[in-house]
Structure 1
Amino acid sequence: MANSLAEAERIVILSGAGMSTAAGIPDFRGPEGLWTKDPYAELVSTLSWYLNDADVRKAAWRRRANPEVWAAKPTRAHEAIVELEKQGRLRAIITQNTDGLHQVAGSSDALVHEVHGSMRQWRCEMCGTTGPMEEMIERVNAGDEDPRCPKCGGITRATVILFEEVLEPDVLEAAITAVEECDAIVAVGTSLGVYPVAGLFPTAIGHGAFGVIVNGTETAMDHLAHQVVHGQLDNELPPLLSASA
């Protein structure tokens, strides 16, 4: 296994909310988070409320259609990860974020494992039909407050994992396989406090991977890492990854 990031050839990136907030997307649990400032917002993220309360669904669609949500652009940190892929040294990106900015930046779909789902796809709860979220946003902007499935009339939603749901087994299994096979793992913008994703970092370490944490503040697992970098992600991650080339 690698003794430094520079030696690594199968690197896993574990990305968290810090990468989204750096792009201008508010987090959920922080002091300025959506759930902190607006407790009603948590209902929008709860499956039973979403399915059974039309007002909650309408609130959810208003949030999804907010232009500010779609204005966020990939940061230098996202772009640095794309460069790592171009070097042929990226094993996988495991992300807790649902914004799809890794793919927007140019990361390959096949390498991105969105553990908490994606806001960029919609799905029908009845028949399972899916499609790009832009289709539904156009309908909401045209006045449809609670757009239904065009195929069966069922309730539609983003493919984001909600409270009361389990993670997609295939996505989680792929993430576990990636960390077991990597020779380095870089946790970026995550406090490593939310499981089961947080458990992937020590899993990688346990399989011999070189562990790096890049975050704005201390994390619950700094003591496990071989290298810890505290600071702004856009400032710290690009030179860290380029120096390892």
Structure 2
Amino acid sequence: MEDLEPPAGRLLRMVREAERIVVFTGAGISTESGIPDFRSPGGMWTKAMPIDFQDYVSSAEMRAEAWRRKFAMEPTFRAARPNDGHKAVAHLVRIGKVRHVITQNIDNLHQASGIPADRIIELHGNASYARCLACGLRHEIDDIRAAFEETGAAPDCRSCGGIVKTATISFGQAMPEEEMLRAEAATLDCDLFIAIGTSLVVYPAAGFPLMAKRNGAGLVIVNRDPTDLDCHADLVVSDEIGTVLGPMIALNG
């Protein structure tokens, strides 16, 4: 009879039965909030290739181009609001079902949904602010934009004169060691791992679902399109994320 149970219903039952859930999110959870999926056909990376970290560091021209692209996208990011998918995950954190949210997203929407920062593990950083690559000082996007519009050049750190970059992980840049270790620890501790809105092709981050599965956790993949890891999952739900997760907002602890 289990095969006759609707996938969304089975997911809800698995969530009820689990005690230590890790949610792993990718771009798909945010497309329903209007944030573009950069890798999809028609996405930003099909129109302009991403700037490699070494090119950003070595070229003032590339830094200026990176900031131009950032400011062009800023209205889209600022207009985005957490959707039912984000709200459902936040609710599961609030009632103690979800221990950690590991995310590949840089849009700050998990924080905006009310999830405490210490429960969110950002593997690719956060685009809502910037940091100096030399001294680590935080810089606000609005301040950088004001300077950029005045000079047309990427601004330097106001403290040490170093290179300032959005607090994200670019192509060619090393993954954040602390966040990777936290993600691994959370993955090995969970009894249910739910991958939401991710194509599961970007490594090493995409290795976490299999790590959880091999450690005995249940594995659920919620994604509109098939992934290479579907064959390893206990449950695959191919539907709109907000529709699938929305009912969980009413779940009791």
Same fold? TM cut 0.5: yes
Secondary structure of the corresponding residue to residue 162 of structure 1: coil
Please, which of 230, 239, 242 is the counterpart of residue 247 of structure 2? 239
Please, which of 39, 47, 69 is the counterpart of residue 77 of structure 2? 69
Q: What is the match of residue 154 of structure 2?
A: 146
Q: What is the match of residue 65 of structure 2?
A: 59
Please, which of 11, 28, 36 is the counterpart of residue 18 of structure 1? 28
Deviation per CA, 1:170-213, whole angstroms, max 9, x where unpaired? 10000000010011111000111111111100111111112111
**Contact 2:132–2:164 (CA under 8 A) maintained in structure 1:** yes
* Separation of aligned partners in 2, 1:161 and 1:198: 16
Q: Which amino acid aligns with 1:52?
A: S
Segments of structure 1 that go 5 or more residues without pairing to the other structure are none
Call closer, same or farther: CA 1:21–1:184 in 2, change over 3 Å: same
Matches within 5 A, 1:5-154: 5-39=15-49, 42-43=50-51, 46-66=52-72, 67-141=75-149, 145-154=153-162
* Separation of aligned partners in 2, 1:238 and 1:50: 40
Give the TM-score normalised by structure 2.
0.88
Give the TM-score normalised by structure 1.
0.90
Aligned-residue offset at 1:239: 2.3
Segments of structure 2 that go 5 or more residues without pairing to the other structure are 1-12
Count of matched residue positions in the alignment of Structure 1 and Structure 2: 239
Q: Does 1:209 align with 2:209?
A: no
Report the more deviating stretch, 53-62 or 229-238.
53-62
Aligned-residue offset at 1:27: 2.0
Identity of aligned residues (%): 38
**RMSD across aligned positions (CA):** 1.9
**Contact 1:64–1:137 (CA under 8 A) maintained in structure 2:** no
* Separation of aligned partners in 1, 2:102 and 2:252: 20
* Separation of aligned partners in 2, 1:8 and 1:82: 16
**Contact 2:15–2:97 (CA under 8 A) maintained in structure 1:** no
* Separation of aligned partners in 1, 2:182 and 2:136: 22
